[in-house]
Each structure stands twice: as C-alpha cells, then as structure tokens.
C-alpha cells in the first residue's frame, strides 16, 4: 500500500490489480471476468465503443459497485477503501464536465479543496497547475464560456491539482488542435517520466497510445483481450526489415533473393525482407552498394497498433458472436 499522496515511483510494482472482476447492469454484462495487473508508467486502455472501458474506469474510482470479483488500486481494496483510492487518483472524465458559474481558477481550487487541500494552499496550487497546463488569463473567465479545448485543459488541471500518484485520463486529447494535442501528450509523458505518476489513458486515438504509452490493455465486449507492453506487442513474430531505396528496387530485391532470403516488393517500391536477423541489416547496405542503389530507409518491421487492435477485436467477435 502506498501511504504517500504524491509521487508514486518506487512505491510499489503494481498500480492496479483486478481479479475476476465482473459488473452487470441488469441483464447487460459490462465487464466479464476481468483479470489484469498494471504497473507504473503510462498504460493505454483501448477498446471499441461499448467494450467496457468507461465501466472499468468507474469501477476503479468506486463510482459503481462490482458484481463479482475483487481488485486493488495502489494497494487499496476496491470495495472497502474507496475514499483512500479517490484521495490518490486524479480523474479526467471524457464528458464535458464543469461547474457552472465558477471561474476556471475557482473551479480548480474548489476541486483541490474537495481533495483536502487547505483553502489558501488550494488557490496557490490551482494557479501553479493552470500555469503548467497553459491556461493564462482565461482562468478568470467563467468555465461555461470556455472552448472545448480550454475545458479539456481545465479538466486535466483539476485531475492533477492534488498531486495524485495515479492519473486516469479518459480521452485526454479529444477536441484539441494538433499543437495542443502535442502539448497535452507532452505533459502526460512528463508526469509519468519525471514526476513518477502512473497513468491510465483511455482513448480511441491509436497514435496517442503509440506516442506515450508503455503498455496497452485491449478490452472487447467486457473482456480483456490483451495486456502487454507496447514494445513487445510491436515486435513481429519473425524479425524482418523494411527497405526503401533511391533508384531501382528490383535490382536490390534480386540480389537479396540470390542470397537465399525471402523478399517482397510493395507497390510503392518498399522491400520487405522476411525472417532477417539484425546481422542481415549490415549486409543489405553492402548489397545495395554493389548493385548501385542508395538506401533511403532501413528499419525493422513493427506490428502496427491498429492491426493488433483490429485483430484482437475481430478474434473476440469470432469467439463470442
């Protein structure tokens, strides 16, 4: 159990652990025997609509009761220690939530006070966090006048104002322009890497996951399909390389084939050298020099997250039509 409120790093190896967790809404089974364990770092929570992501987040916050199973968040029991969990979790909801009538800084201060920060300290901290989130003079305007992007930043600010060791972010980049999106992802990355926060990001935007996540959880129809580190998932079953060249790729392809390796040429000229170990990479350079073509790019192939996601969801559809 982590007694500290703020920094997480080094406190425990497991941020959250769920065992056979099931949640029914009447006849609808939102979560079905979910068992998973998540460690520090940034974890992406992926799944199609209705997969149970929002229910899982609500379960973690103790907002809905578990039908069956058990779980721990930061070492606190999901059923009995909800208040302790909420002290240590910062939640950024997907919904457009705000408190009408309050200026931005007052809203962040209010929520800081609800997390137990003393009045004056809550105001100081609210200003500090709004600075960090890039909300400047707009902080004195009522929140109902904010644009979608501003509200998104405000929701992020209120999630971190009480310095929680675990952040649960539901669609953090939704409604942000490209520049703000990049800034938001940078903040999440910095909080995880420098401030030692554990972060659970629920999102549909796969490039966001690839940009910031260390691990991925894929849910489909209330069941966990994949829990794995992103670098492990991205690694193909058999190592291969993608090669893009200046000049005629056919000549290089023929030379590689003559060395007994399997090579495919895509319509855009990219060559895929299958079943190739790392040592082959050095030899490809020399073969290219020999046939008189220049190498523009040579990189190991990776499984795309999109393919992994679609495959996981389709497998689940086939298994449970």
Partner 1 sequence: MPIHDLGYRSWQGQRDPGIARLWVVAQTDARLAWQSRWLRRMLLVAWLPAVYLGLAFFLFEQALTQPTALRMAAEFLGQFPQSEVVGEALQTEDRAQARHQVWSWLLLTFFRYPQGLLMALVVGLVAPRLIARDVQSRAFLLYFSRPLARLEYLLGKLLVVCGYVMMITTLPALALYGVGVFLSPPEFDVVASTWDLPLRILAASAVLMIPTATLALAFSSLTTRTVYAGFAWFAYWVLGLVSYVMLVTSVDKLDSETWVLLSLYHTLGRVQHWIFGIPLSLGGQTSFSDVLAPAALLAGMAVVSLMVLFRRISSPMRI
Q: Which stretch binds partner 1 (CB under 8 A): 13-21, 184-192, 244-252, 276-284?
A: 184-192
Residue 176 beta carbon to partner 1: minimum distance, rounded to whole angstroms: 18
Q: Which of 19, 68, 79, 97 binds partner 1 (CB under 8 A)?
A: 97
Nearer Cβ to partner 1, position 133 or 253? 133
Q: Which of 39, 50, 93, 300 binds partner 1 (CB under 8 A)?
A: 93
Strand partners, 90: 167
Please tell me the number of Cα atoms within 13 Å of 307 on its side-chain side.
7
Q: Which of 20, 116, 283, 304 binds partner 1 (CB under 8 A)?
A: 116
Of 284, 279, 210, residue with least CA distance to 244: 284
Q: Which of 3, 27, 49, 83 binds partner 1 (CB under 8 A)?
A: 83
Strand partners, 42: 199
Q: Which of 29, 35, 98, 214 binds partner 1 (CB under 8 A)?
A: 98
Q: Which of 19, 121, 177, 262 binds partner 1 (CB under 8 A)?
A: 121
User: Under the criterion CB under 8 A, does residue 7 sit at the interface with partner 1?
Assistant: yes
User: Under the criterion CB under 8 A, does residue 182 sit at the interface with partner 1?
Assistant: no
14 to 53: interface string for partner 1, x by CB under 8 A: -----------x----------------------------
CB 200 within 8 A of CB 191: no
User: Under the criterion CB under 8 A, does residue 11 sit at the interface with partner 1?
Assistant: no
What is the spatial distance between Cα 262 and Cα 163, in angstroms, rounded to a whole number?
Answer: 53
User: Under the criterion CB under 8 A, does residue 262 sit at the interface with partner 1?
Assistant: no
CB 61 within 8 A of CB 49: no
CB 35 within 8 A of CB 20: yes
What is the spatial distance between Cα 77 and Cα 74, in angstroms, rounded to a whole number?
Answer: 9
Of 279, 284, 246, residue with least CA distance to 263: 284
User: Under the criterion CB under 8 A, does residue 163 sit at the interface with partner 1?
Assistant: yes
CB 220 within 8 A of CB 313: yes
* Alpha-helical regions (H) of the chain: 53-60, 82-88, 104-114, 119-132, 148-160, 178-193, 206-212, 230-234, 249-258, 278-291, 305-319
Nearer Cβ to partner 1, position 63 or 290? 63
Count of other CB atoms within 10 angstroms of residue 179: 9
Q: Which stretch binds partner 1 (CB under 8 A): 11-19, 42-50, 102-110, 305-313?
A: 102-110
Nearer Cβ to partner 1, position 164 or 249? 164
Nearer Cβ to partner 1, position 91 or 309? 91
Query: Which residues fall within 8 angstroms of residue 319, CB to CB, at 6 or more apart?
Result: none
The residues in 215-254 that bind partner 1, with binding defined as CB under 8 A, are none
Please tell me the number of Cα atoms within 13 Å of 279 on its side-chain side.
1
Task: Name the site residues for partner 1 (rule: CB under 8 A).
Answer: 4-7, 25, 58, 61, 63-64, 83-84, 86-87, 89, 91, 93, 95-102, 106, 110-111, 113-118, 121, 125, 128, 131-132, 134, 136, 144, 158, 160, 162-163, 187, 190-191, 194-195
């Amino acid at each position: 159990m982590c007694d500290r409120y703020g920094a997480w790093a080094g406190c425990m190896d497991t941020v959250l652990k769920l065992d056979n967790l099931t949640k029914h809404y009447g006849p609808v089974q939102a979560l079905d025997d979910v068992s998973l364990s998540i460690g520090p770092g940034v974890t992406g929570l992926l799944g199609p609509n209705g997969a149970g992501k929002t229910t899982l987040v609500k379960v973690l916050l103790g907002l809905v009761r578990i039908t069956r199973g058990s779980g721990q968040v930061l070492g606190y029991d999901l059923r009995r220690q909800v208040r302790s969990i909420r002290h240590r979790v910062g939640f950024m909801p997907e919904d457009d939530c705000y408190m009408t009538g309050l200026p931005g800084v007052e809203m962040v201060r209010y929520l800081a006070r609800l997390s137990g920060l003393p009045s004056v300290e809550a105001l100081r901290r609210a200003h500090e966090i709004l600075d960090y989130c890039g909300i400047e003079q707009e902080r004195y305007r009522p929140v109902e006048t904010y644009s979608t992007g501003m509200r998104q930043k405000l929701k992020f600010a209120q999630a971190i104002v009480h310095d929680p060791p675990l952040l649960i972010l539901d669609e953090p980049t939704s409604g942000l322009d490209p520049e703000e999106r990049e800034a938001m992802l940078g903040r999440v990355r910095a909080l995880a890497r420098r401030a030692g926060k554990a972060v659970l990001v629920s999102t549909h935007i796969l490039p966001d996951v690839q940009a910031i996540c260390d691990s991925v959880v894929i849910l489909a129809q209330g069941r966990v399909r994949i829990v794995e580190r992103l670098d492990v998932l991205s690694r193909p079953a058999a190592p291969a390389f993608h090669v893009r060249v200046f000049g005629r790729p056919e000549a290089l392809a023929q030379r590689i084939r003559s060395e007994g390796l399997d090579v495919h040429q895509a319509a855009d000229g990219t060559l895929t050298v299958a079943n190739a170990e790392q040592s082959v990479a050095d030899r490809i350079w020399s073969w290219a020099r020999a046939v008189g073509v220049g190498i523009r790019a040579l990189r190991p192939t990776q499984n795309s997250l999109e393919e992994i996601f679609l495959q996981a969801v389709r497998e689940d559809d086939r298994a449970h039509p």
